[in-house]
Amino acid sequence: MGKRHIATNMNPLFQDLNPAQRQAVENTNGPVLVIAGAGAGKTKVLTHRIAYLLQQGVPSWRILALTFTNKAAREMKERIEKLVGGDAARDLWMGTFHSIFGKILRVEAQYLGFDANYTIYDTADSKSLIGKIIAEMNLDKDNYKPNAILNRISNAKNNLITPQAYLQNTDFHKHDLMQRVPQAGEIYQRYVARCRQANAMDFDDLLLYTNILFRDNPDVLVKYQERFTYILVDEFQDTNTSQNLIVKKLALPENNICVVGDDAQSIYSFRGAKIENILNFSRDYPNYKIFKLEQNYRSTPTIVEAANSIIAKNKNQIPKKTFSEQSDGEKIQVLNADTDIEEGVMVSRAIKKLADTGVNYSDIAILYRTNAQSRIMEEMLNKLSIPCRVYGGTSFFQRKEIRDMLAYVRISVNPKDNEAFARCVAYPSKGIGATTMEKIQTLAERNSLSLWEVFLNIELANDVFNKGTIAKIVQFRELLQSFSADLLVADAYALAHRIFTQTGIQKDLEADDSIEGVNRLANVEELLNGIKDFVEADENADAPYLPGYLEKVALLTDMDTENTDSNNKVTLMTVHSAKGLEFSHCFIVGLEENLFPSNMFGAPSPNNVEEERRLFYVALTRAKQSVSVSYANSRRIHGSITAAAPSRFLQEINPAFLAQEQRSTFAGFSRGGASYGSSFSEKFSNSSFSKPQFTGFKKPQNSSKPVIPSTFTPSNPSDLCAGQTVVHQTFGRGYIKELQSDVAVIDFQVGGEKKMLLKFAKLQII
């Protein structure tokens, strides 16, 4: 195809591009990898590149641009229209993977046995259908949770594993047996069949069936290969196996493909994202060109260099050196609190100081690793009348699992609370169905009674309900009465914990091992931690009961504030949610081992730690002007105060970019946690928690005696693996560097590196 060449030195498209950005825009032919550091203007490059292609005479309908959000696609298209005019960009194929491939599937549906008007099931639809299949198969509902099964199915589809392949794979079968869901494969098979019967696809099907369409119909694939002569992919580090395979097929044979991303911001492996897609781009396209956008226009040099010092510790990466030409900016503040409550106080007071200097609350964000951490931050901000919002519109106390727990608290205090009562009847399942509740509602309305009062007199309605239904209602009624009877006998935490265990909420949440399920359980445990704090607070010593706690929570969840600007609020969010956003001032909280980096996935592996480090890199690079990081010496976990060690990531920041550590001085807030009186590096070196697992231990000075736990019990050799921290009775603490068959290479505090036969070593896992 002939092209109209324009003198680039006169082209207005290049006026606001730096040299690296301009090169990435101009080189339109062949495979191109654009590594775009945080704040480096990747969206500008993508939009200008498309505008340049249009300017060079490429028809808009021949350009395919894939994004991960509809918002990103919409904003990019608006920018392109401003650059080249609306008509020129009108027929661009720009959108999310799912929207673009869904559009293709509607045209080609007959090849797959679907009608063009197929329905797209959302998550709720899918879980509902899976729940019906589980019921039809008479499977144990405690083991077979729709959400957990849906996650299994989703992971399979994103790795191009069909139901037939799943059922034939012995490894999957063994894993399902271990998880007590041996019939997961059959559920998958039935689910796919029922979707077909309903002429429906779920979101994962839009990717899976596109792959199947192109695999089984070469002529259809050629049709779209010839149509899309230029392909662009945004956030390439977030693509999964299925998405990458489709893109590779479509790009053939010319391979005019441009992918933009940052391997240092690959943080979604739990959703199936494969960092290997961007790391192996050079292998997939040997004649590729690479352009690195390294100038950060967002953050100060201090923040950029601190982030560089962190990410440099990762082995699996594409090297780059980001820089900023702004003024140096403030050094990173390190806040050390005695407890997690004090951490919330320190952060809240620091935010108040910023506001006093004229900073808008909306320019401030608190970033954390897990949703459960928002509870304390919300409470402490409220104490100082600082307006805040939890990103996504769901505050800690508005999450379903928290509302479910508090509903039981509410009806224990006030059984006539119909809204809470209906919620408790519905969850967890008690065999009291919708039809029964409709009849109870009718009786209540007819006799001007509350739902609870109908339950109290249910035996009088034996002409309406059968004996089995009455027995279930009586059983539930007696459970609620036992809670009410202890309102002013058991303290708030003891009674709340009883509610958690005896209602079945704990069992239900623990049965869901998906990421979402783990987070929901953590949120309820964090609620219980808050109730424990209420009980132990001096101000509640005379009345540490649930009615007082409920009143306190009701005040906290009232989001009314004297500030009339509803948008001027501090943002609270997880680091995952913060990706792609920016704030003038960021507070990164909970920088502790086993929290950040997280131990959610069990013993840390090198790959997990590298992803956690990338997550911390993302957190740092959200800030434009200042960053504060904080950690606590103790944190309440599962209702008990547990000593905490500073995160290895704190030690990895180049100290030249850190301000002097600020320590807790809030004695009145103390919960009995340890007070170390030393810097975080000293605490990290002396802590009983795991040390960094890939840099070796700091050896204690002037000491040849190892520190041995008071109780020593050797672990089973088969449980040992590389990266674990262990104790030996002679050499003390050490970490396993390598595991070769039955021999371990261990770096000890005393004695240094040693090779040991596992069956004779007698090592205790820490």
Q: Which residues participate in catalysis according to the annotation?
A: 42-43, 234-235, 265, 622
Alpha helices in 448-466 (DSSP H): 451-456
Q: Which residues are within 8 A (CB) of 127 and not within 5 positions of it... i.e. 6 or more apart?
A: 146, 147, 150
CA 614, distance to chain mean position in Å, is 13
**Distance from first CA to last CA of the chain, Å, rounded?**
65
Residue where the block lists tokens 């004779």: 760
Q: Length of the chain, please?
A: 766
CB 521 within 8 A of CB 444: no
How many of the other CB atoms lie within 10 Å of CB of 276? 16
Tokens 């580090």 -> residue: 237
Whole-number Cα distances in Å, 309 to 304, 478, 653: 9, 60, 6
φ, ψ at 176 (rounded to 5°) = -65, -35
**Comparing C-alpha atoms, which of 204, 250, 207 is closest to residue 230?**
250
Gap between the Cα atoms of 139 and 142, Å rounded: 9
618: tokens are: 């993302």
Strand order across the beta sheet in which 743-748 lies: 752-757, 743-748, 732-740, 725-728, 763-765
Report residue 171 CA to chain centroid gap: 27
* φ, ψ dihedrals at 308, nearest 5°: -60, -40
Check if the beta carbon of residue 705 is closer than 8 Å to that of residue 750.
yes
Residue type, 103: K
Check: CB of residue 405 under 8 Å from CB of residue 414.
no
CA–CA dist 220, 213 (Å, integer): 8
Burial of 438 (0-12, 13-18, 19+ CB in 10 A): exposed
Q: Measure the CA–CA gap between 596 and 588, rounded to whole angstroms.
A: 10
Sort strands 732-740 and 743-748 into parallel, antiparallel or unpaired.
antiparallel
- The letter for the amino acid at 386 is I
| C-beta contacts of 414-420 below 8 A and 24+ residues apart | 415/450, 415/452, 415/480, 415/484, 416/450, 416/452, 416/453, 418/444, 418/450, 418/451, 418/452
Are 273 and 233 in contact, with CB atoms under 8 Å apart? Answer: no
**Residues 148/130, Cβ–Cβ less than 8 Å:** no
